[in-house]
Amino acid sequence: MAHLEFIKPVELSGSQKDELQRIMSKVNDLLRPVAEKRGLKRLRDQVRANPSPEVKALMDSESLILAGYIRIATKLVNAFQRSSSLEEDDLWQEATIAIYDAMYSYNGQTEFSTYAYNCIKNRLIKLRMQNQKKVKTTGLFNEDGQLIDVIDPSSAIVPEVDLHALVNKAKLSPKERVVIHSSMRGKGWQINLAEEWGRTKQLVSEVYRRALNKMKVVA
């Protein structure tokens, strides 16, 4: 399996995209009846070991597919690296797995660029969620390990804390959970969240303070 970060991007023509999508779609037609029972990765490894003409055609096209759609992975990896504490190597590893999964599960119902984008994005979101369960909390604790009420997370010193356990213990609402996790993004998170919700920055601050008060009680 090639690692995407080392691949040089190429521009695909419209006819090349159509042909690659046709090849991937034919493989999906071949694998779909048994993929749900065996699992995509296991099945993919099996068919690559003894490829049919359809799978062989896809294997021969993998390098071109990766080079043609590498910019999608680069964009998403960079975005997740800026907005989280995830390591670049981990992000690239997950993006690589996701685009290979996309190749062998593409059903031709949309453009492959859209399908690959969603596959990579969903896998990186899953990685970020797993990481947040273990992450050291920012903006919630002072140097004595006491929960504080701050709007600027950069002013806090961070001890070892299981944020996921604390959030569950405080029984935060879904919106309060989003605010707490968003506060770990660093400066500008309130404005970004306010725009995402279509609400004011003041409302986001109020939800943040309410969540902190609940967490203080159980910390």
Mean pLDDT, to the nearest integer, of 8-33?
92
* 169 and 109 within one domain: no
* 68 and 20 within one domain: yes
Give residue 133's region: left, alpha or beta (phi > 0; psi -120 to 50).
Answer: alpha
pLDDT for the residue 161: 46
Residue 144, domain member (yes or no):
no
What are the Cα distances from residue 152, in Å, to 89, 156, 187, 190? 29, 8, 7, 10
Residue 140, domain member (yes or no):
no
Per-residue buried b or exposed e for 73-105, using 16+ beta carbons within 10 Å of the residue's own CB: bbebbeebbeebebeeeebbbbbbbbbbbbbbb
pLDDT for the residue 111: 95
* 107 and 176 within one domain: no
Among 132, 165, 191, give the residue marking a domain's end.
Answer: 132
Q: Judge contact between 105 and 123, C-beta under 8 A.
A: no
| Cα distance between residue 79 and residue 120, in whole Å | 12
Name the amino acid, one letter, at 154.
S
Residue 142, domain member (yes or no):
no
pLDDT for the residue 88: 84
184 pLDDT tier (thresholds 50, 70, 90) = low
24-33, 47-56, 86-95, 160-169: which has the minimum mean pLDDT? 160-169
Name the amino acid, one letter, at 164.
H
* 182 and 118 within one domain: no
* 63 and 30 within one domain: yes
Q: Which domain holds residue 123?
A: 10-132
Tally of domains in the chain = 2
Residue 137, domain member (yes or no):
no
* 162 and 127 within one domain: no
Mean pLDDT, to the nearest integer, of 59-82?
92
Residue 4, domain member (yes or no):
no
* 114 and 188 within one domain: no
pLDDT at 158 over 60: no
pLDDT for the residue 159: 40
Cα dihedral 53, 58, 60, 62, rounded to 10, equals -170
Residue 52, domain member (yes or no):
yes
pLDDT for the residue 60: 93
Residue 146, domain member (yes or no):
no
199 pLDDT tier (thresholds 50, 70, 90) = confident
pLDDT at 1 over 70: no
Residue 119, domain member (yes or no):
yes
Mean pLDDT, to the nearest integer, of 32-49?
75
| Cα distance between residue 71 and residue 114, in whole Å | 12
pLDDT for the residue 144: 47
